[in-house]
Amino acid sequence: MAYEEVGAGARQGFFSQPGIVGTGSIGNTAMITLFGLKNCDSCRKAAAYVKAHDWPHRFHDLRDDGLSAAVLDRWIRSLGWELLVNRRSTTWRNLPDAAKDGLDSVSAKQLLLDHPTLVKRPVITLGDLVVVGFAEPQQAALADAMASNGQR
């Protein structure tokens, strides 16, 4: 199955769910990268799922390892900045109102670079597939991409 961006404004993907974009093409590389926080329940759930399937992966802790502008640019191009900002996080609630008001693509990018824990988690990349969150549609997208590479 192919996962592609639907619509120019609100970016959505397969199953018309936000948070999934890409063709599912992973080329020669089948390494999953899980971006998140070690103490995040959703990130732990995603890591356990990937381990249970014995898929090659690595975990990138946003707090310990940081977030590069290049990686963030890719996510923003793929998903849009609105989907990446976790407005339910403690970090968001602790920000001054001035930082939250009038957020746009430029200020959101800088805010996410300054506070990587603001990223909605987990973000999972595999080739050109980018998935945010770990609900059923995101799990299906990841499983389909791995199956297309001959891994179940």
Could you list the active site residues? 40
**Signed CA dihedral, 89, 59, 32, 108: sign only:** positive
Closest to 38 measured CA to CA, from 127, 107, 121, 132: 121
